Structure 1
């Protein structure tokens, strides 16, 4: 058992850290957060340096590396700035569906554009009336000649107003029993006639990311836009979640680390009652608890990434990593605000933004309750 990163992984980690340190300007972050504006220039620079799609094969403009390298980048970027980091690392969201299941034609057309910073991607899975339940879709896709005709709506779609394409879950066989056996995954270009996206409005955190409602009205795409096999969309998206939840765990881990770093720096220089706040035992105990939670989250997240790269799909482990890292992000950011006191509530000191950004990691890619369902199912097994 080896807990050491490889030399290459350490170099990637350092490169991501140096990039974030050089590009993630504090004042710019505050400005973009207030304007709800995507960090386009930083995203393009990240792509130029190979941080986007690092886990794609080289022929698709990636570096041929694994999930482990991808989440190392995510952790570093999010620890430097939770909002900019999240926007950059999720710019390629759901493109893995094409990478893992798509045809060679779809991979060649779309993956290089994502990796090169020319296009954002989005996964259109969640529906207004279903939420976490993806076993049946109101969005339908019907064959007409050599095309799919798609109708329906999706909500809370990350990158929704900015994406160049959507990976859409559609009910292609409404008679299937159970219903999830009739779900397929189809790629829909954002500029297709009948596709519209509307921002969901002001939200608590992740202000630099577009979160949208996406509507499909008689949208026609070629049959060749099918991703994977017809009727296998439900199974494909579950496999995708086993990868994407590791990325969200890394986002949460970085967010927790960033909040901790700021709190640590503050208590080491701030004086109260004639001595540094860090000298008080109550402060030291808080820091000890925070550091321990972060280390536990890191171990689980790294193990989940390593496990995936070994070719093993383990929903229990990925759900544990995502659930625990997300909870850690929320708790550590909350404690960071407490340590800074009134200053922690002020935008200038950043930890309030880290707190706002932390909460989403307990919601998207499956709420913490969904993660508990997955974990419990694996623990209990089948009842006799």
Structure 2
């Protein structure tokens, strides 16, 4: 199976040539390791170096920093093929679609030259630490502080649900550099923290419902000293930076959700064609055909919308509410597809040995991370 049979408007021949490289990598290096990585609860760090060698990490980074200088649609291809053919949450999207953009957009020249080449090669794995125990989606309620001491910040606090937390070599930490200023968002900054800093500790690799192979961690900061030059951009502008990069993050989530839904559908068509009940294939029952026909129609609409969003984003025209809407719609579709496809697998769908079971579990979180879908509705509603 592949995504080649779809009629797409977001990609040209160069994009599709890149897709073939990505697909071969996913089929050879990623998919065969799914079970082992799921058992370990973490992706082998060596795979980052292999991905870097092929140019699959951070393809949008400008050439002057060792990147390919490509558009976000190349990132989208990595996300699509990872969801469809890799079936593994590698952490690449967090690294390439989210973290790197902050450094490219707001980093100092020194920060860019220090970190971007290593992120492209896979030598450095990154994470971004926003969420704290008790704050959830409320970034203005941060408790982690970075207090000035001479020409250093001293960071104290904790973070949770941090993707790539166990593998990360560099963490972009959202902190309060001013706890008194009002409104509270004016006191938020982003500080780069290297994982080898004294006082930085990784907590548990959290036990999740799904995405078993993705390391998701608690992080602790106990008097962690970093130079003030580690501040990303201007002090106090962190909240603005975070808000400006969210459309791409949410579009990235939508891309992965759509591709994983397509794979679940394709697998289910094959399963119902082969599995028999009462002497005939399950696919021959009208209910099965109607359910799958409904899904196929919605997937068709989904791909058209996704291409529209990707093309708008490539032209830097995708708005915050459009990014929120993409995340909302595609993750809701993903869950609908997963649940109906699992049902059509019958008892087999409840067994982890079948891909639909793992996909169903993994899909549940996509309506939560990147901002819950309820928050997406609130953001869209504010523009009415």
Work out whether the TM-score is over 0.5: yes
Render the CA deviation track for 1:326-371: whole Å, top value 9, x for unaligned.
1122111111211111111122221100011111111111011111
Structure 1 residue 66 displacement after superposition = 1.5
Structure 1 residue 323 displacement after superposition = 1.1
Distance in 2 separating the partners of 1:62 and 1:350: 35
Q: Please name the residue that 1:70 is paired with.
A: 75
Render the CA deviation track for 1:291-339: whole Å, top value 9, x for unaligned.
2222333333333332222123501110111111111221111112111
1:247 correspondence with 2:252: yes
Structure 1 residue 7 displacement after superposition = 1.3
Match of 1:273 among 271, 278, 282: 278
Alpha carbons of 1:173 and 1:37: their partners in 2 closer, same or farther (altered >3 Å)? closer
Structure 1 unaligned segments of length 5 or more: list them.
Answer: none
Q: Please name the residue that 2:327 is paired with.
A: 322
Match of 1:89 among 93, 97, 101: 93
1:23 correspondence with 2:29: yes
Structure 1 residue 186 displacement after superposition = 1.0
Structure 1 residue 200 displacement after superposition = 4.8
1:6 correspondence with 2:6: no
Distance in 2 separating the partners of 1:185 and 1:313: 24
Structure 1 residue 258 displacement after superposition = 1.8
Structure 2 unaligned segments of length 5 or more: list them.
Answer: 1-7
Structure 1 residue 59 displacement after superposition = 2.9
Q: Please name the residue that 1:126 is paired with.
A: 131
Structure 1 residue 91 displacement after superposition = 4.3
Structure 1 residue 86 displacement after superposition = 4.3
1:348 correspondence with 2:369: no
User: TM-score normalized by structure 2?
Assistant: 0.93
Is residue 266–residue 340 contact of structure 1 (8 Å, CA) maintained in 2?
Answer: yes
Q: How many residues align?
A: 376
Render the CA deviation track for 1:276-297: whole Å, top value 9, x for unaligned.
2222221111112222222333
Structure 1 residue 214 displacement after superposition = 1.0
**Helix, strand or coil at the partner of 1:254:** helix
Distance in 1 separating the partners of 2:344 and 2:51: 33
Is residue 300–residue 320 contact of structure 1 (8 Å, CA) maintained in 2?
Answer: no
Match of 1:148 among 149, 153, 158: 153
Q: Please name the residue that 2:3 is paired with.
A: none
Alpha carbons of 1:13 and 1:123: their partners in 2 closer, same or farther (altered >3 Å)? same
Render the CA deviation track for 1:80-113: whole Å, top value 9, x for unaligned.
233x244343344523211221111111111211
**Helix, strand or coil at the partner of 1:209:** coil
Alpha carbons of 1:289 and 1:319: their partners in 2 closer, same or farther (altered >3 Å)? same
RMSD of aligned C-alpha atoms?
1.8
Distance in 1 separating the partners of 2:44 and 2:350: 24
Is residue 89–residue 213 contact of structure 2 (8 Å, CA) maintained in 1?
Answer: no
Q: Point out the more displaced range, 363-372 or 61-70.
A: 61-70
**Helix, strand or coil at the partner of 1:3:** coil
1:231 correspondence with 2:236: yes
**Helix, strand or coil at the partner of 2:169:** strand
Structure 1 residue 34 displacement after superposition = 2.4
Q: Please name the residue that 1:160 is paired with.
A: 165
Q: Please name the residue that 1:301 is paired with.
A: 306
Alpha carbons of 1:159 and 1:85: their partners in 2 closer, same or farther (altered >3 Å)? closer
Distance in 2 separating the partners of 1:329 and 1:81: 17
Distance in 1 separating the partners of 2:348 and 2:268: 11
